[in-house]
């Protein structure tokens, strides 16, 4: 069992992990996903002490590993790591790569280490490569060897940091298949990956990392089908988001429309949809809603999903005003003609208007 509590890691001003607490039970297979730079690698590197946490505690099977007296080599025997870049020993043959640590650290006999090594090579489908050097192998083969080498130490826990991201796409499948097979056993696996389909298939639990920690934690079904929090939803649906905040009187409305135009071009949104978005903001936001607000305090977000054929515009403001009750019939008609749906709700003392605009 791994118990992480109040883990913090700073690099100067950068604080990728602010305050991470979680418990990982034996045999769990956890996929760690999230945008770049959110501390996924840092978390793994803190777990096996490649990085020293700034503060907080990590216990592995009840032993505090950040303690100065902790036996790091013992920890490393319990916990293996597979890197994006394989890190095989280039001057050794494949089988020697697999035998080295078991002989050196576990004091296995050469015969014993060889037998186990060959067994593992068969398991990853590479027994024919035992006498080759790493340079003579493809990327996918190197990574399967790296996994076999980690398994040769028989660790209880294996950390994978983007094991397939350095591979040619044709080789991703063979490495994923080896990890999937492994996930059926009783080892605890933590897998950082940008391959969402794989994350979903292989894991029993997902950590979505963002904002300095584990932002959302759930089963693959929960995270992929029904994410509870905003950033998770945006990440899973690959939403591109543009946000504005209007406060006071000196808002740069012209700049706002040129930002929208640029955002639409960048995300390959058709001119038809772009014009609808602009027209909805002009009519609904500027003509219908803004004049009704006591103070200008409005947040606007525009979200587009991957194929770029639909946009969701959300506006929020404190006044309890439902735009459907406006007396400006003409503007309302224009908005309705350009939208799929308009929904008004109140949440946390703010009005939220959600408008769906599509290409059709
Ligand atoms: N050795 C370091 N020195 C300084 N800053 C670092 C160091 N390692 C990581 N960082 C910073 O910490 C943050 C988190 O980095 P990390 O590598 O953990 O992100 P990640 O989630 O693994 O991203 P990616 O998906 O791109 O691999 C980043 O802002 C990064 O620049
Ligand atoms: Mg990383």
Residue-wise pLDDT tens digits, 47-104: 999 999 999 999 999 999 988 888 888 888 899 999 998 899 999 999 999 999 999 9
Return the ligand number nearest the Cα of 210: 1
For residue 93, give Cα distances in angstroms to 26, 46, 100, 145, 331.
33, 31, 10, 11, 74
Tokens of 238: 């690959």
- Using the mean position of ligand 1's atoms as its centre, give its distance from the Cα of residue 106 in Å: 33
With a 6 Å cutoff on the Cβ, whether 9 touches ligand 1 is: no
Measured from the CA of 51, which atom of ligand 1 is nearest? Answer: 1
Q: Which residues of 120-129 are buried (b: 16+ CB within 10 A; e: fewer)?
A: bbebbebeeb
Report domain extents, the chain: 2-233, 240-358
Q: For ligand 1, atom 3, which residue shows the shortest CA distance?
A: 11
Does any ligand 1 atom lie closer than 6 A to the CB of residue 220? no
Summarised one tens digit per residue, pLDDT across range 63-73 is: 999 888 888 88
Q: What's the token pair of residue 86?
A: 């394989």
pTM exceeding 0.85: no
CATH number 3.40.190.10 is the correct assignment for the domain at 2-233 = no
Which stretches of the chain drop beneath a pLDDT of 50?
none
Q: Is 193 in the pocket of ligand 1 (CB under 6 A)?
A: no
Query: How much distance in Å is there from the Cα of 354 to the middle of ligand 2?
Result: 35
Measured distance CA(278)–CA(274) in Å, rounded: 6
Q: Which ligand is nearest to the CA of 39?
A: 1
Residue nearest to atom 12 of ligand 1 (CA): 16
11 lines ligand 1 (CB under 6 A): yes
CA-based max dimension of the chain = 88
Q: Does 3.30.565.10 match the CATH number of domain 240-358?
A: yes
Q: According to the model, what pLDDT value does residue 76 have? A: 85
């Amino acid at each position: 069992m791994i118990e992480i509590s109040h883990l913090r890691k700073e690099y100067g001003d950068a604080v990728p992990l602010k305050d991470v607490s979680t418990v990982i039970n034996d045999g769990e297979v956890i996929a760690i996903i999230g945008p770049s730079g959110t501390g996924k690698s840092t978390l793994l590197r803190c777990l096996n002490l490649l990085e020293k946490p700034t503060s907080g505690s990590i216990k592995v099977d009840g032993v505090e590993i950040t303690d100065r007296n902790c036996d790091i080599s013992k920890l490393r025997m319990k916990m293996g790591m597979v890197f994006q870049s394989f890190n095989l020993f280039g001057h050794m043959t494949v089988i020697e790569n697999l035998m080295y640590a078991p002989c050196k650290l576990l004091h296995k006999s050469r015969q014993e280490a060889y037998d186990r090594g060959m067994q593992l090579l068969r398991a990853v489908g590479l027994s024919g490569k035992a006498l080759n050097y790493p340079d003579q192998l493809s990327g996918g083969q190197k990574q399967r060897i790296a996994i076999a080498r980690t398994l040769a130490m028989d660790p209880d826990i294996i950390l994978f940091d983007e094991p397939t991201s350095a591979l040619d796409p044709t080789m991703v499948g063979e490495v994923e298949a080896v990890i999937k097979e492994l996930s059926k056993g009783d080892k605890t696996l933590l897998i950082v990956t940008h391959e969402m389909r794989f994350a979903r298939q292989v894991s029993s639990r997902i950590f979505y990392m963002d904002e300095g920690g584990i932002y959302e934690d759930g089963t693959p079904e929960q995270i992929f089908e029904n994410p509870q929090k905003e950033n998770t939803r945006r990440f899973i649906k690959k939403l591109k988001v543009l946000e504005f905040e209007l406060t006071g009187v000196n808002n740069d409305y012209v700049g706002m429309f040129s930002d929208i135009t640029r955002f639409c071009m960048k995300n390959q949104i058709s001119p038809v949809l772009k014009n609808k978005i602009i027209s909805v903001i002009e009519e609904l936001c500027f003509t219908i809603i803004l004049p009704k607000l006591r103070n200008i305090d409005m947040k606007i977000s525009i979200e587009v999903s991957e194929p770029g054929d639909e946009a969701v515009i959300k506006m929020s403001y404190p006044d309890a005003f439902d735009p459907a009750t406006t007396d400006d019939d003409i503007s309302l008609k224009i908005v309705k003609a350009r939208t799929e749906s308009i929904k008004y709700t109140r949440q946390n003392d703010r009005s939220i208007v959600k408008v769906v605009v599509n290409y059709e």
